[in-house]
Structure formats: structure tokens, C-alpha cells
Structure 1
Amino acid sequence: MVAMWERGLAVSAPGKVIVHGEHAVVHGKVALAVALDLRTFLRLRPGAEGQVRVCLPGVGVQRSWNTPELRALRGRIAADFEDSKSPSLEQLDALREFAGIAAEASAPDSLATLAFLYMCLAISAKYGDVPSVDIVVWSELPTGAGLGSSAAYAVCLAAALLMVCGAISCPLQEGESTARWTEEELTLINSWAFQGERVIHGNPSGVDNAVGTWGGALRYQAGKITPLRRVPTLRILLTNTKVPRSTKVLVAGVKEKILKFPAIMNPVLDSIDAISQECQSVLEEMPANPSPEYYPVLEEFFDINQHHLNVLGVGHPSLDRLCQVTASHGLHSKLTGAGGGGCAITLLPPDTSPLTVEAAKQDLCACGFECWETKIGAPGVTLHSLSSLNTQVLHVLSQS
């Protein structure tokens, strides 16, 4: 471990998209969440003696602290540090004061700094001393787009800090490029990542950090998270309309509609629930590299669910435009997440020609949208040798 650690290691975790079940999940229905192969990367190196440094170039954070001052702060607020207990308001207030973050600050840089401090102190309080580390985190995921960027960050931090403090192993052997942790270790990573999510979001569902930890696909219903047995890797286009929206306002709007028209809206929720369950069955039947005949039913599920989401009132003209553009290329899309703008996913069957994909991307970008060709069903949190990372990731991490 020591030799590899001195050369530096990297941890990555995937983002997530909801395939089916948005909004219905708030009312006790099934949702399917899948790992998105856009990842957050964390580079871990030994820090200068007595120094903790964290650099997050994506949100403009570059901070460093002395380990003695972090130890003193930990001593003042450590009584309640537990991986099963929510961060207390007193702890978060003390961390804000220490880091010079205003009480009402909710910008990504402030929340990311707060989550780092909390996790560093809480994990070291339970498993060892405050480590001298140099951490750089960079993400392919846009922030605030409902793609699990904060959870991927929390999962990477949890894995790195638990490893440095000796609570989990360093599974990467000499000569290997990547490695995964044991099921027991992943459970520990997930429980601490959930604490980081609580710092950032207050009362998260736990779905995003679970997808970031285990990868693949998860079924979520009424607080219960169940990994799907087997999930194929599916190619998609992920498109960000860049239209901002408030999840809280959209959720409240759906609730109001259900109260106003229960006999009309409850069957819509039941239908979305049925789509999620049917889709789960199809995904679990599909082989790892599915042939084209599996796709028409998945495409129909996309179309039907998109109409249902419009009925719930969470559509948007930008999403209608996106669906029209992809349909003109023979492709099927639906919103993912809160709706009202935000992101959508487009299924790319294996027989889709590269020319079709390129033309669709160009047309989407011409609408002012941002578009990525990526995969769903990606692996969860992974340990990498630095040399195995692609050039772009390596360049960003080494520049910071």
C-alpha cells in the first residue's frame, strides 16, 4: 500500500440517471436508477507533513489546513460523529465558522468544502488520526443537473478517506490498473457517502450515493433500495437543456394535481409504476451485450412515460423540442429527474449508425443544448492507478 500510495492513486464514481419512476417515487411507486458512465475522479497523494489540501477546480475550491488545527476542531465537535447519525446543526455551524462559510451559503463551492471537512474529521475520529493528504477532485458531471454529481463526490471522498485511515483495504495490486472493494467495504463506503450527502442536501433519499457505490441499476421504493440482479450496459445520449428548474416547485405542483384530480392522476402514477416494474424485468432478462430486438419495448416505455410525465405537469417546451429532434432521427427520448427543463436521455440501439448519432447530436447542440454520448449500467466506485486514467482526466488532476 505505502509504495502505491506514495506514487498516488485515483478513485472514481459514476453519476446517475433515473430511467423510470420520476415523481411517482415520491408517492410510494417504484423508481429505477442507473449508473451513468460520466464519472467523478479523485486523485489521492500524501500531503506535506501536517497539511491537508483539497482542490476542486470545477467549483473553484483550493483550500489547505494544518492537521493540528483540524485535530483541535475535531476535539470540540467529535462527540456525535457516527456513520449512522446525521451531522448535527451544531457541528455544521462550527465547520462553517472554521472555514469562513456564511450560514446561508448554498453555492457548490461552500457545500463541497463543508462536506469535505465533515467527512475528513468524522472518518478520522472513528478510524485514526487526521491524515496528511493532498486531494484533487474533478468531474465529468455537470453540477445541479440532477445527475448525482454531489453523491459521486461524496462516494469518492468516503473511499479515499476510509482507505487512508485504514478502515478499508487498498485492493489495487502492483501492475493492476483498476480494482474494486469487497461488498462489506462498499457498504461502509456507502454509509459514509450518505453522511456527505446529508451535509450537502439535508435529507437525501440515499439512492444517488448507492448508485455511485455499487453501480449498475437499483430499484427504489418507499425508502428500500434493491440492486438489480444483472444489468446490461446500454448506450445513450444524455442531453442537458440547460433550462433551470426548482425540484421543490415541480414536486409540489404534482402533489397539487393529484389532490385536485385523484381519480385521473392516481391511475397515471400506477401506470408509471407498472412501466418501472416491466422495465426492470426486461433489463434483468437482457444479456450483457443485447442485440437490437430487445430495444423496441424499451423505446415504447420511454415514449409512454414521457407522455405520462407531461400529464403530471413536469414537461417543458425544451423537452418537447428535444423529443421531436431525436424522433426525426428515429430515436426515442424521455426526461430524467425532476423535469421542467433539466436533462433527458435518448436510447441508442446497437444498430444505430454513427452518422445518425452525430446528426442528432449536432441538431441538439443547435438548439443550445449540451449533449454527451455515454452509457448507463456503469461500474460503481473504483480504485485506479494514475497511469490508467485517460489523458484528459490525468491532465486536469495533475495541473491542480
Structure 2
Amino acid sequence: MKFSTKAIHVGQGADLATGATIVPIYQTSTYTQEEIGKHKGFEYSRTGNPTRQALEECLASLESGKYGMAFASGLAATNAVLSILRPGDHIISGEDVYGGTYRLFEKVFAHYGITATYVDGVNPEEIEKAIRKETRMIWLETPTNPLLQLTDIAAVAKIAKKRNLLLAVDNTFATPYLQRPLELGADIIVHSTTKYIGGHSDVVGGAVVLNDRPLYDKIKFYQNAAGAIPGPFDSWLVLRGLKTLSIRMKQHEVNALAVANYLKIHPRVVKVNYPGLKEHPQYELARKQMSGFSGMISFELKGSFTDVNLFMKSLRIFSLAESLGGVESLACHPASMTHASIPKEERERRGIKETLIRLSVGIEDEEDLIADLSNALEI
């Protein structure tokens, strides 16, 4: 089956009890057993739930994986992956990384003796140079949040396999519709399903997809033991979002490219970061490992924080808000929002300036979006 067909059908057969075409919301915490030890595959909804199972099967299929696990948030999924590490272990991460991931590395797992080194993820050679005898995992975002940098997944996968390291890729920005890291050699994929996969800004969730059974068993044990799982209704909302992922991503990309082309020639814009622009330094890599460029843009505005704040307040269609990937367009100030947990000096060294704006370009009419930006830039 092709992607769009799998998104609608995998794990989503007609309900055996009623014939319901759409997977029901199994809003139950427990399941009646016929006798001690004899049940119908489900005992307690922290361990397993039919609605969640449908979501997990579909996500695995879309990422070309064997095993999928759904979590209560993207960070819960990240936390579950990191749970396989032990005190003294070392992670290598691209330095342009989501602020919540950085916070988890530095404020949570550092207390358990797990350390992280941040390198220029654009250059696989820098990742290889950072490997130490205690290194156990390489963590990548590609495209990155918020600077839209790319890492050559296949090149890093070769390094990881040569050195017997795990390669985890946060695929939230690209989605499986545009990029499938397992096919490029990654070991683990992480998603915030809150974003494009859910697609409607009405649910918080996360996911992990992989192929290795022993690794799956470890993370699955943690999923059940720690219990950061989505409820049946949240699982159903994400599953509903998956059905339209392909058509939404096509429109996100069309609109984002139009917005990026508008911004790159505007006199008040210093720089535009969008891998779909031919001027992007990794445009060819984006074409090679992605089938499209997604809907995320960041750009630097001329002026100061005051100018950025005025711009944000002047928007009428774009909403000033955290998160991304919904059908509606959002504008974000990474330095004070998504990446505020990174110390200011380090944040600015990485290129996340006070004048950087991140746009999640929605699926409204592109002319309305450009008119909204134009109006805000002229005030």
C-alpha cells in the first residue's frame, strides 16, 4: 500500500464487535476477563488499549518500522528513549535542538550521570570527532528547530553503525510523509504527534518507532512501567489526524514556499531559513533525503526585540503561540518561548537571536497569509 492508503487503513479495520468503520474510542481503564489469566488481549489501559494499539500500528507502518509506541507527549517519548541509557553514558546531539530536549538532557538526565555534547550537526565529521568511549547514542533533529538545518542521516548512520552507537532521529518537522529515517539507517524515530501528525492543535502526544525487537522491548517496558501514555480519546484524535497527513503536508509546503519567497526579498528581513529555497545551503541534501520541504520557516527581522514584538502584535491570521504543525498558521519567538530553557549566551551562540521569528505556515489561502505578514512588516 502507498502512504495515503496506509494512513487511512493500517490498524484500522472494521470493529469486530459492532462493524464500526472507524476505530472506536475504547474509553475504559480495565477489561473483564473470562477467568483468571484468560482475556482478549487487554488487561489494563496503561499497558494496552485497542484505540492506542491502532495508532501505534499505523505510525509504525508509515515510518517503515515494525514497532510503534504512543506516549502522552513528545518529551515523554524522548524520555522513554533516554531511559535505556545508564549512568556514565554519553549522548552526542546536534546543537540546534528543541529547547525541551536540551532541558531534558541538562536538567533531568544530567542528574543521573548521563552527559550530552552538542556539535554542529550539519557536518557528520563533527559528530564523529565527538565520539568518546562512553558514547552510546547520537541524537538528531533534521530539519532542526528553529534554524531549519539538516543533517545527512545516512552519513551519520554509517558512523553510528561503525562505532556501535544508537542513532535516534526526531522526525517531527518532516513527518513520515516527507522523510523516513529508518530507511536511511536510523535506529529510533521520535515524534511529537502534537504537531503535524495530529495536525489540528487539539491534542498533545508523542511516539517512538523502531525495528529492533530487543530495543523495542526495553522501551515498551518503560512505557508500561512509567505510564506516560495517551488516553483513548487522545489516541483517537492523533489517529484521525494521520488520515489527512499527506494532503495537509502538500498544502503546508506550497504555502511555506510562497511565504519564504516573499520574505527573502523583503527589505526588513535579514535572512530566511527554509530548506525549500535554492539559496538554503543544504537544499540539495533536502532534495536527496526528503520528498518535500514541510511548512516550517524561520527568519531574522531587522531591528530589535521591540520591533519583533510589534510585528507579532500586528499579525491577524498568524497567531502568536507555542507549538506548530496545525492547520492554522502560528508565529513563535524561539528565544523567549520554545528555546528559553537554553542559557542566553549559548542560545545566541547557536544563532537563536532575539530577532529570530519562527513560522508554522498553515493551510489557509497563501495570499491571505502573505497579506498578513506584509501588513505586520509595514507597521
What is the TM-score with the length of structure 2 in the denominator? 0.26
Higher RCO (C-alpha under 8 Å, 6+ residues apart): 1
